[in-house]
Structure 1
C-alpha cells in the first residue's frame, strides 16, 4: 500500500480529490480511442480570454420578530462577481472587469405577511460610503437558507456575466470559423441554460468520477498540456432509466497542468473541463473541439505555482488575483459587522424605542 498526499491544504472546504462514481451514463464524443491528445498552440483568432468568478459572504444572521410574536430567520450577506480580461498571446496587461459588491437581505418566505424594505446602513463618516442591502426571499425556514440564497444569486450573476462576455459558439460540426474571438473561463461547471456561448467551465476539484476504473488510469499518465478525448454526459443522470436521464448534455475532458511531486497522488495537477453539448448529438461541434485542443496550452500558461498559491496549480493565477479584488470590494468583514450592529442599535435600540 502506498500513501500519497492530497495537494490542497486541510483548511480548504474540500480536498482536491474525492472521486464519487457518476451514477449515469458517459459516452464517447470525439473518438472511441482512449488515449492522450497532444496540446496545440493557441490560434491568433482567439483574441481575448476572460476568467469569471464569484465570491459570496454571510455578514450577519438575523432573527425577525413580528408583532404577533412569530419568529423567522434572515441574514445580511454580500457577493461579488467579476472577470479578468487577458490576452492569451501575452501582448497586453490583464485588466479587472466589473468587480463590484452586491449586498443582500435574505429572509424566509414562510412567514405570512413579511415584506422587508431595503436596508441602508449610513456611516457616521460620509467618506466611507453606504451599505445598501436589497431584500430577497428564500424558500423554507432553514438556518442556512439565507446563505443558500446569497450563493444562488451569485451563481446566477456569474452565469449572466459569462454569457454576456463570451462570443457566440456555432454548434456546427464543420464550420471552419467556429473558434470564437472571445472565450470565457468560468470557475466551476457551466450553468443550466447557457448553451450557445463560448463558455468553458473549469472544475478544480475531482469529486465525481466520470471515467470508471477502466479509464481513469490515463489521467495519471498525461503529460503537462495533454488532455483526454472529449466525452459526453447528461447533468443529473442517475442511471435509472428514462425518468432519471437528467436535464442538459455536457461535453467534458481532463487536462494535466503540471507533473505532480512523487509524494502527491497521481491525479494531482489534473483539471476537469466542461462545455454545453447540443441535445441528441453524436458529434463534437468544431468550435468545442477547437477549444478543447487549445485548452491544455492555455491553462498551463495560467496555472499557479505551489509557492504562490496553496491550491496550485488548479487555482489559476487570474482567479487568485480576482479573489483578492473581490475581497477588497466587499470590504473588511469586521467593519461591516460593526456597521450592522450600529444600524440595528439605531433602529431598534432603547433610544429608538423610547
Structure 2
C-alpha cells in the first residue's frame, strides 16, 4: 500500500514540541583563564587588525504541518513537515548574501517516503520530531564549514556547539537563559561600557568552550542591555582566543542594530537581521506551502 498522508487541521504551532530549553546540566566555570578572578574588570576594545573577510551564518526553521501517515504495514503514526533555510552573509566593504540552502523534511517514525508537492519535495527522515532543532543546526554547520576557509572571522548565530572544529569561528549568543558568572566577574558584566568586553572565561556543561561577554552600543535600560556572549573553542591557545575576543570587541559593535529599526536591537546585528529576512522569504509563504501539502495529500 502506498504511503497515505492526512494533514492535521490544527495550526502546526499548536502541535510543536516544547521549545523550552532543557534544564542546564551541572556547570563548571573557570573565571581565571585570561586574568585572575580578583582582577576582573571591563576590557576596552583593542586596536586589532580588521578582518579582510567577515562572514555571518544564520538559519531559520518552520513547522509547515503536522500529519498522520499510514502504509498498511504498521500502525498509523504521526509525522511532521518542516522547512529549513541557512545562509551566509559576506562582509568586506559591504554586506551581501553569499549563499543560501533550503531543505524540506518529513519527520516520522519508521521509514517514511519522500513526499512531493508543488512547493518542493520533503525528504524523509525516519526519526521522532524531537530532532527538528538538530536538523536546523546541522544545516548551519554544513554551511559554516563551506565558508570557514574563505573568511578571516566567521560569526555563527547561536552557541558554537557542533562547530568547535571550524577555524576562526565563534558563536554569537543573544539571549541569556543561564547566568554563568558570580561575584566580581558578574559585577564586571554590569559595569561594561559600549564596546567593552569581559575577560575570557571557560565553562563546561555537556561540552567545554571559552567565552566572554561584550556590550554593544545602545540604550542601557538594565545591567544586561546590549550584552551578548561570544563562544570559542576551548582547543585554541589562549593568545589566539584573546585575539578573537579583541577582534569581536573592535568589529561587532559597528554592525549593531538600532531600536527604531529592529525590536531586538542592538543584539540582532544588521547582517544577521537581513539574512534572517531573506531566509524566511526563501522558505516560501506558509499558507501556500500548507495548501501545497494538502493538495499533494489528496
Q: TM-score range by the shorter chain?
A: 0.7 to 0.9
Q: Which residue of the partner structure matches residue 6 of structure 2? A: none
Tell me the secondary structure at the aligned position of residue 138 of structure 1. Answer: coil
For 1:188 and 1:271, the matched residues in 2 are separated by: 10
From the superposition, tell whether residues 21 and 154 of structure 1 become closer, same or farther in structure 2 (CA, over 3 Å). Answer: closer
Runs of 4+ in 1 over 4 A off after TM superposition: none
The correspondence for 2:113, drawn from 117, 134, 156, is 117
Deviations along 1:224-279, one digit per CA (max 9) or x if unpaired, are: 1110000012232xxxxxxxxxxx32100000102534xx322111111101112x
Alignment of 1:1-354 (within 5 A): 23-27=26-30, 28-32=32-36, 33-44=39-50, 46-67=51-72, 70-87=75-92, 92-109=93-110, 115-122=111-118, 130-139=119-128, 145=129, 148-167=130-149, 182-192=152-162, 194-195=164-165, 197-236=167-206, 248-261=207-220, 264-278=221-235, 284=238, 286-345=239-298
Q: How many correspondences in the alignment?
A: 277
Q: C-alpha displacement at 1:35, in angstroms?
A: 1.1
Tell me the secondary structure at the aligned position of residue 164 of structure 2. Answer: coil
Tell me the secondary structure at the aligned position of residue 257 of structure 2. Answer: coil
Q: Which stretch of the first structure deviates more once superposed, 154-163 or 55-64?
A: 154-163
Tell me the secondary structure at the aligned position of residue 206 of structure 1. Answer: coil
For 1:21 and 1:219, the matched residues in 2 are separated by: 21
Q: C-alpha displacement at 1:93, in angstroms?
A: 2.2
Q: C-alpha displacement at 1:295, in angstroms?
A: 1.0
Q: C-alpha displacement at 1:42, in angstroms?
A: 4.3
Tell me the secondary structure at the aligned position of residue 162 of structure 1. Answer: helix
TM-score (norm 2): 0.86
Q: Which residue of the partner structure matches residue 7 of structure 2? A: none
Q: C-alpha displacement at 1:21, in angstroms?
A: 8.5
For 1:186 and 1:193, the matched residues in 2 are separated by: 9
Unaligned runs of 5+ in 1: 1-12, 110-114, 123-129, 140-144, 169-180, 237-247, 346-354
Which of the two has higher C-alpha Rg?
1
| Contact 2:170 2:231 survives alignment (8 Å) | yes
